[in-house]
């Protein structure tokens, strides 16, 4: 039986009962057809990952009876993705893939040429949670409400490096730029920023250049869609600066399945 992995809000410790949301119980009982005793893996972004078992409580409710800890909470790269919202299917795709690529924050940014004004933050957060469960992260990225680019840059956090994808040729190739970083720059908090379908406006490119820790980079000779650019830049960043530089942890082969016969 494959083990369902769930994000929960509750603190996690051996022997406690973690409440499950109605939608989680519905998914476990009616989609995955899990009986009492079914194995679960829980994480909450603070206490690491824990083995648990499903336990019914009354007619419809259920809890997770928490057992032992499988993985301690570990530091993860601090890289934001600041992106101009695109149309529904593709913004959901950005949320899912950027979560798999390890972002800590998803920040929709309204720019002069942004074609989409309204962003359903709750839906993006649900996509991010589902992706974090599947990708076996120990955290879920924070999904923030859209912010105007000028305001974001006016409040840019001191010390956070800004990797700005500039399709107008305003920077060196991304691999060359990231490969030249010193250890302090690699260890700094970062943000990857991509523009909308219509690209950044002139005054926006000028505003980026006023940020002390900005690094404008190119993503090759072709114009990439905003979602492609965001994920390509994040992949380069993880490979050259982030946690793709560490070997993939070796997990026991039965980690994802449980020998529990219920
Ligand atoms: N102005 C063009 C347009 O209207 O199609 C480009 C916009 S592009 C679709 C959206 C964003 O992706 C750009 O603002 C930039 O951040 C990023 N991007 C796309 N291709 C890129 C490239 N070759 N180099 C750097 N960034 C790129």
The enclosing domain of 145 has a CATH number of 3.40.1280.10
- Is residue 45 domain-shared with residue 96, that is, in the same domain? no
- Per the CB < 8 A criterion, the answer to whether 218 and 171 are in contact is yes
- Is residue 66 domain-shared with residue 97, that is, in the same domain? no
The number of domains in the chain is: 2
User: Residue 190: its pLDDT value, please?
Assistant: 98
For the chain, the C-alpha Rg in angstroms (whole number) is: 21
Confidence of residue 259 (pLDDT cuts 50, 70, 90): very low
User: Which run of H or E residues covers position 40?
Assistant: strand 39-43
Does the pLDDT at position 159 exceed 80? Answer: yes
Q: Which atom of ligand 1 is nearest to the CA of 193?
A: 16
Higher pLDDT, 87 or 168: 168
Confidence of residue 262 (pLDDT cuts 50, 70, 90): very low
User: Residue 255: its pLDDT value, please?
Assistant: 61
Distance in angstroms (rounded) separating the CA atoms of residues 207 and 148: 13
Of 91, 163, 199, the one to substitute when testing ligand 1's pocket (max ligand atoms within 8 A of C-beta) is 199
- CA-based nearest residue to 116, from 92, 140, 80: 92
Does the pLDDT at position 247 exceed 90? Answer: no
- Is residue 60 domain-shared with residue 121, that is, in the same domain? no
Tokens standing for 102?
A: 């390890």
Within 10 angstroms of residue 175's Cβ, the number of other Cβ atoms is: 15
Percent of the chain with pLDDT over 70: 95
19 found inside a domain: yes
- Is residue 113 domain-shared with residue 19, that is, in the same domain? no
Last residue of a domain, one of 72, 106, 128: 72
Distance in angstroms (rounded) separating the CA atoms of residues 66 and 17: 6
Does the pLDDT at position 260 exceed 50? Answer: no
262 found inside a domain: no
118 found inside a domain: yes
- Is residue 55 domain-shared with residue 166, that is, in the same domain? no
For strands 190-194 and 79-83, give the pairing. Answer: parallel
56 found inside a domain: yes
The CA 82 to ligand 1 mean position distance, Å, reads: 14
Within 10 angstroms of residue 18's Cβ, the number of other Cβ atoms is: 20
- Is residue 27 domain-shared with residue 141, that is, in the same domain? no
- Is residue 111 domain-shared with residue 240, that is, in the same domain? yes
Does the pLDDT at position 261 exceed 50? Answer: no
Domain that residue 138 falls in: 79-245
Tokens standing for 177?
A: 């730029």
User: Residue 54: its pLDDT value, please?
Assistant: 97
Segment 28-57, tens digit of pLDDT? 999 999 999 999 999 999 999 999 999 999
Q: Which letter does DSSP use for residue 255 in this model?
A: G
Give phi and psi for 128, each to the nearest 5: -65, -40
150 found inside a domain: yes
- Is residue 92 domain-shared with residue 153, that is, in the same domain? yes
- Is residue 10 domain-shared with residue 122, that is, in the same domain? no
Distance in angstroms (rounded) separating the CA atoms of residues 233 and 218: 9
What is the arithmetic mean of pLDDT over 58-83?
Answer: 95
Helix then strand then coil, in percent of the chain rounded to 5, is 30, 25, 45
Which residue in this structure is represented by tokens 């990231």? 178
Query: Residue whose CA is closest, atom 19 of ligand 1?
Result: 224
Which residue in this structure is represented by tokens 């494959």? 2
Higher pLDDT, 17 or 116: 17
User: Residue 116: its pLDDT value, please?
Assistant: 80
- Is residue 65 domain-shared with residue 131, that is, in the same domain? no
Distance in angstroms (rounded) separating the CA atoms of residues 127 and 107: 14
What is the arithmetic mean of pLDDT over 186-193?
Answer: 97
Around ligand 1, the residues with Cβ closer than 6 Å are 165-167, 194-195, 197-200, 218-220, 222-226, 229
The CA 229 to ligand 1 mean position distance, Å, reads: 7
Distance in angstroms (rounded) separating the CA atoms of residues 252 and 148: 46
- Is residue 83 domain-shared with residue 141, that is, in the same domain? yes
- Per the CB < 8 A criterion, the answer to whether 123 and 96 are in contact is no
Average per-residue pLDDT in the chain?
Answer: 93
**pTM of the predicted model as reported, rounded to 2 decimal places:** 0.93
């Amino acid at each position: 039986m494959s083990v369902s992995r769930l994000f929960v809000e509750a603190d996690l410790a051996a022997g406690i009962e973690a409440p499950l949301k109605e939608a989680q119980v519905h998914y476990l009982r009616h989609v995955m057809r899990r009986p009492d005793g079914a194995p679960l893996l829980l994480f909450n972004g603070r206490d690491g990952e824990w083995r648990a078992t499903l336990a019914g409580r009354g007619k419809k409710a259920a809890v997770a009876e928490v057992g032992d800890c499988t993985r301690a909470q570990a530091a993860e790269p601090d890289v934001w993705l600041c992106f101009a919202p695109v149309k529904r299917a593709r913004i959901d795709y950005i949320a899912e893939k950027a979560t798999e690529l390890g972002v800590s924050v998803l920040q929709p940014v309204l720019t002069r040429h942004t074609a989409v004004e309204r962003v359903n933050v709750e839906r993006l957060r649900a996509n991010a949670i589902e992706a974090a469960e599947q990708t076996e992260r120990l955290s879920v990225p924070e999904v923030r409400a859209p912010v105007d680019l000028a305001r974001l840059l006016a409040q840019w956090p001191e010390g956070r490096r800004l990797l700005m994808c500039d399709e107008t040729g305003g920077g060196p190739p991304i691999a060359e730029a990231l490969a030249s970083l010193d250890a302090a720059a690699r260890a700094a908090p970062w943000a990857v920023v991509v523009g909308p379908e219509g690209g950044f406006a002139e005054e926006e490119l000028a505003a980026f250049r006023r940020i002390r820790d900005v690094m404008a980079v190119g993503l090759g000779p072709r114009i990439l869609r905003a979602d492609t650019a965001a994920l390509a830049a994040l992949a380069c960043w993880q490979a050259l600066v982030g946690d793709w530089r560490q070997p993939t942890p070796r997990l026991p082969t039965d980690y994802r399945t449980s020998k529990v016969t219920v």
